[in-house]
């Protein structure tokens, strides 16, 4: 890391402000006027829906020089590898390079594991890459000390499912409220939730002011909108746009996973845990050991050991598990020849609600 910047400016109210629930009254299905934005911030998980958002922007004629990809590293960059696919960071880098786009990484320092192990301590600082290549570190000194020592709850509520809020939503908001380039002009933040995925996601608005919007501010007039362009899309629509652009999906899909969330996502079902146990036993054991240490399982009624015992591993070519378990992505992003639908397409798509 170079040019480290520390800005201890977190307020105690921050987390509360960020943990709003989806809007119950729903759908404003307007699409924004894309010509009215200076920059487009695509939250890029590496999964198919975020890729579809980006490809849709390109199809709509948005100049690539105005698009920024932002990927939140769930495990941080301080050495933890508890949750995520080892290959995801490298896959995102290869994707950005192949499409000629800027990519910025951001993360909660210490990642998921540090947040989960909080014991009478404050939530950690947020780190993010800046346009000049330096890394900024903000927050970490506000809020009340607290104790977690349990996995996030399997729930649509972002308050108890704290991983999504603290590892992703909060991190993105920190970037936008801190970086000077977002304090002027108009920014459009783009995320890939789809109504088809869950009842909770169906209630999300397609287009609304982003939670960091401050367009009527006195000192800072920050205009930020939030668009979910694939909110009304089917899974078939999503695979269709990847096929049109010949984009090779994240290797998790070729391993049989229907969603490319964290490898050890708390929403995993029996087959997913059986697959992790079969192909990544060390990663599985770390999750199981934490459940035993906490005396509380992720799914309150069954441990991951019990779930894995009644599941069946996905029947994918073992080569794909090696690719997904590598920290370097070595495949091409753009497929030459025939594009193939991965094994996980239209399959088990348990994931964040």
Structure tokens at 241: 């746009």
Distance, first Cα to last Cα, the chain: 35
Strand partners, 68: 41, 102
> 193 or 235: whose CB is closer to ligand SF4?
193
> 163 or 323: whose CB is closer to ligand SF4?
163
> 150 or 186: whose CB is closer to ligand SF4?
150
Min CB(109)–ligand SF4 separation in Å: 16
C-alpha span between 170 and 125 (Å, rounded): 11
C-alpha span between 251 and 249 (Å, rounded): 6
Min CB(349)–ligand SF4 separation in Å: 12
> 10 or 265: whose CB is closer to ligand SF4?
265
Q: Report the chain's C-alpha Rg in angstroms.
A: 20
> 189 or 265: whose CB is closer to ligand SF4?
265
Is 165 within 8 Å of 209 (Cβ atoms)?
no
Min CB(266)–ligand SF4 separation in Å: 5
| Contact residues for ligand SF4, defined by CB under 6 A | 74, 83, 152, 163-164, 167, 261-262, 265-267, 352
Min CB(267)–ligand SF4 separation in Å: 6
Q: What is the DSSP string of 202-233?
A: HTS-SEEE-TT-BTT-SS--BEEEEE-TTTT-
> 173 or 187: whose CB is closer to ligand SF4?
173
Min CB(63)–ligand SF4 separation in Å: 31
User: Which letter, b or e, does each residue of 88-114 get, where b requires 16 or more Cβ atoms within 10 Å of its Cβ?
Assistant: bbbbbbbbbeebebebbbbbbbbbbbb
Min CB(186)–ligand SF4 separation in Å: 29
Min CB(136)–ligand SF4 separation in Å: 22
Cα atoms found within 13 Å of the Cα of residue 349, Cβ hemisphere only: 14
Q: Is 174 helix (H, G, I), strand (E, B) or coil?
A: helix
Q: Is 40 helix (H, G, I), strand (E, B) or coil?
A: strand
> 66 or 77: whose CB is closer to ligand SF4?
77
C-alpha span between 253 and 206 (Å, rounded): 26
């Amino acid at each position: 890391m170079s040019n480290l910047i520390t800005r201890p400016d977190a307020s105690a109210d921050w987390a509360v402000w960020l943990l709003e629930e989806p809007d119950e009254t729903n759908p404003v299905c307007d699409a924004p006027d894309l010509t009215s934005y200076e920059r487009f911030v695509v939250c890029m998980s590496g999964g198919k829906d975020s890729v579809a958002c980006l490809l849709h922007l390109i199809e709509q004629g948005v100049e690539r020089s105005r698009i920024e990809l932002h990927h939140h590293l769930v495990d941080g960059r301080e050495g933890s590898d508890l949750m995520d696919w080892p290959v995801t960071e490298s896959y995102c880098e290869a994707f950005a390079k192949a499409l000629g786009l800027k990519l910025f990484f951001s993360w909660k320092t210490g990642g998921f594991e540090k947040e989960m192990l909080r014991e009478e301590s404050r939530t950690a600082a947020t780190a993010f890459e800046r346009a000049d290549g330096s890394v900024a570190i903000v927050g970490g000194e506000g809020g009340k000390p607290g104790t977690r020592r349990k996995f996030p709850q399997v729930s649509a509520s972002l308050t108890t499912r704290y991983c999504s809020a603290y590892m992703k939503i909060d991190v993105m908001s920190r970037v936008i409220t801190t970086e000077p380039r977002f304090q002027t002009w108009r920014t459009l933040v783009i995320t890939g939730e789809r109504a088809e995925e869950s009842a909770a996601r169906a209630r999300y608005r397609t287009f609304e002011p982003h939670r960091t919007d401050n367009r009527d501010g006195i000192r800072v007039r920050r205009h930020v909108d939030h668009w979910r362009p694939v909110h009304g899309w089917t899974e078939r629509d999503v695979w269709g746009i990847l096929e049109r652009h010949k984009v090779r999906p994240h290797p998790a899909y070729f391993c049989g996973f229907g969603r490319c969330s964290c490898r050890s996502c708390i929403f995993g079902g029996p087959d997913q845990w059986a697959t992790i146990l079969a192909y990544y036993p060390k990663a599985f054991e770390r999750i199981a050991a934490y459940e035993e240490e906490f005396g509380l399982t992720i799914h309150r009624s069954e441990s991951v050991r019990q779930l894995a015992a009644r599941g069946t591993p996905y029947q994918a070519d073992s080569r794909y598990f090696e690719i997904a378990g590598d920290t370097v992505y070595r495949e091409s992003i753009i497929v030459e020849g025939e594009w193939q639908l991965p094994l996980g397409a239209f399959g088990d798509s348990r994931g964040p609600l």
